[in-house]
Structure 1
């Protein structure tokens, strides 16, 4: 017999789980809409060449490709070593590449500065493990057409607001700039052809520490002088005073020689987020922290990058950055663009939201001989009153039936006999 399990790395959701996920998504949608973002939808598939244009980093290797229609066995054998000859479409591995294509296609119909929301599943051929799936939901907000710090600040403020509304207050955004990273590697003397590998190693700093990073750089064959310069920077004497996010914190974390414009852009983001969060008025510290070694792996980032951390989780809850060069690949003209994505699968298990429908969720437990017409008339009356209603035939084990209903979110029940009217229903609480 065929397996009844879903494909590896993909999941079924029972009614209670599905309802919970939809409640979380509804809060995210509502907060993003309140911040002026408009929801769009794009196809689940994009052209193969677009998904493999060299901007998706390692995710391109994880794309599910769709076999061309009409290929016979000889054609498949002839193209066996060339995936591009076998496939013309693929399932999207993120929402950013489809968004760039969408914007290029519909630019004339969109405002000069376009704020989009995209909430949808994506697919990656990951090795399934706890917390890592082959199909998962992404929640993206993006701003196109604004090169200023206002765009990043709007995204960060909206994301923090959404997390607050979900009960995940206290989040912190770690922020960096790809240009600052590149300038730092230039100051240390890493040649341009070494930098992709160097960044992969630097990204492990939190896991293997400064000595581990330097050792791995040397194992990779990085320039000895550059590795030594980087080691000296990591181990330099530093004062221990705490600096809030701002120019002083950023300057102290970077070597001399980084462009003032990059620092000014980051400072402007902090000032705008502080104003949006009322940090100055409340005397609270800005929920931003400059991290000069934050890398993020996507190849399309060109400027600011960030990740969001929360004390309830040892992993990032989302991230994003500026990708000013992507839309130009489709439009032939560069358009500034920046986005922020919440890791929905990572936050949904951290959130506890009350079911707004619970107060009006009723199970009608009816006798076997109750006429169907009467049952549906009673149900229609309760539905018209605003209740959610389920009909259940009475069983010998009534307790098990009611426990199942309570697990599905129902909070009241009534028994129904033949000839019963709305006035005869005596609603009793479940649980």
Structure 2
């Protein structure tokens, strides 16, 4: 017996029902984002190798797929491999996210774009992940970004649009966890970590949900034993506030869970801007989100990408063991390509995780019709029937009658057809058919 032919490891095929559900979700997301004033763009699936490894993508750079230079000889390949010099081997690579291509796109086309540019990008990306549930080597990202707006209005627009998209997809119980990197840096400074230790410390804090507070403290002792111990106390004090309904995104609730610095006579140094930013977001968004979407402050939220500079957010859903979306402000990233700072912030829906949580809506009527025909039916008659029904706006599938009609009708129902009609020999006009709902 021949072995099954499977897609490459970490990549997937999609059957018609799966593809229909994905296209429905993509259509909803696009419609909502366009209604909120975002415009869709498209960038190449490959970027220059040097751009993909410019230090902007964090750990994702290590997971990127490289494309060998054209015409490279086996001798050159062996020499570069032995030297560990990947740049001698590759000049291009598959994109590992949509943010790096967007910043390059903006730097290339800034003169043709409005002062504040609102972009939609929905496209596949590739990472050399270890395949597991919810993690694939090829997957779709659905991003919206605002470039050129430095104020909180950008975050408000992103959260509002993303919340409506989640609601329109039928996802209930979504919690958008929000933090500010300035609050994280302020907490680290309050605990005694030196500024040059902050990035390294946040990498460890980002593991909190995996290794727990004790694990974070033990790992951070390598940087500063006393500072790690103080951070452990801060985390222990914050933890009770995160259970249950969590921490509301209000100034009073945020300040209530942050440690006070007696030396400063108030909040720890460096926290003011972050606290005021989040309090303003919470106030602006109060009453403005759809039912089923909640905003909460989470001072332990880090987001692993080192390019974030201010607000960060992540979507949690009770049906998923991982986040189903996230993003944040990355003001310094565009400037790496443009030579001058440009404010930017983005929000990405984790499409592969979201699409597993939704169902296709039920059809209001039998717009998708299966015509079940006898063997004696004329091909010309069948073609005429199909042409007439398609002209009336139906989706039409021709199916030859089988002995097991239940199996046939179950299959076409699973493939999205809502109605069927039996076609007898000689039938040529749609009015001669009785279209019955499959339900």
Same fold, judged at TM 0.5 (above):
yes
Q: C-alpha offsets along residues 365-393 of structure 1, whole Å, 9 cap, x if unaligned?
A: 22334332221111010001111101122
What residue in structure 1 maps to residue 214 of structure 2? Answer: 211
What residue in structure 2 maps to residue 91 of structure 1? Answer: 94
Does 1:314 find its partner at 2:321? yes
What residue in structure 2 maps to residue 339 of structure 1? Answer: 346
Task: Name whichever of 222-231 and 349-358 sits farther off.
Answer: 349-358
What residue in structure 1 maps to residue 255 of structure 2? Answer: 251
1:279-290 aligned at under 5 Å gives the runs 287-290=294-297
Distance 2:270 2:142 in 1: 33
1:17-56 aligned at under 5 Å gives the runs 17-56=18-57
SS of residue paired to 1:359: coil
1:197-236 aligned at under 5 Å gives the runs 197-218=200-221, 221-235=222-236
Distance 2:32 2:96 in 1: 25
1:419–1:216 Cα change, 3 Å: same
What is the deviation of 1:357? 7.8
What is the deviation of 1:156? 0.7
Distance 2:35 2:287 in 1: 17
Does 1:385 find its partner at 2:397? no
Q: C-alpha offsets along residues 247-287 of structure 1, whole Å, 9 cap, x if unaligned?
A: 11222233322342222222111122225338xxxxx9993
User: Does the CA contact (< 8 Å) of 1:358 and 1:409 recur in 2?
Assistant: no
Correspondent of 2:171 among 162, 168, 175 = 168
Task: Name whichever of 84-93 and 243-252 sits farther off.
Answer: 243-252
1:410–1:186 Cα change, 3 Å: same
1:71-150 aligned at under 5 Å gives the runs 71-80=72-81, 81-150=84-153
Does 1:418 find its partner at 2:421? no
SS of residue paired to 2:366: helix
What is the deviation of 1:338? 0.1
1:357–1:344 Cα change, 3 Å: farther
TM-score norm. by structure 1 comes to 0.92
SS of residue paired to 1:60: helix
Correspondent of 2:368 among 361, 381, 394 = 361
Distance 2:233 2:355 in 1: 42
Unmatched 5+ stretches in structure 2:
260-267
Distance 2:3 2:85 in 1: 31
What residue in structure 2 maps to residue 281 of structure 1? Answer: none
Kindly report the root-mean-square deviation, in angstroms, between the aligned alpha carbons of the 2 structures.
Answer: 2.4
Distance 1:236 1:277 in 2: 30
What is the deviation of 1:3? 5.8
Distance 1:382 1:243 in 2: 55
Distance 1:200 1:7 in 2: 31
User: Does the CA contact (< 8 Å) of 2:103 and 2:334 recur in 1?
Assistant: yes
Does 1:179 find its partner at 2:182? yes
What residue in structure 2 maps to residue 157 of structure 1? Answer: 160
Q: C-alpha offsets along residues 89-113 of structure 1, whole Å, 9 cap, x if unaligned?
A: 1111101111111111111111111
Q: C-alpha offsets along residues 411-431 of structure 1, whole Å, 9 cap, x if unaligned?
A: 222222332122322223324
TM-score norm. by structure 2 comes to 0.90
What is the deviation of 1:135? 0.7
1:275–1:407 Cα change, 3 Å: closer
Does 1:261 find its partner at 2:273? yes
Task: Name whichever of 408-417 and 108-117 sits farther off.
Answer: 408-417
User: Does the CA contact (< 8 Å) of 2:247 and 2:296 recur in 1?
Assistant: no
What residue in structure 2 maps to residue 429 of structure 1? Answer: 437
User: Does the CA contact (< 8 Å) of 1:244 and 1:285 recur in 2?
Assistant: no
Distance 2:74 2:211 in 1: 49
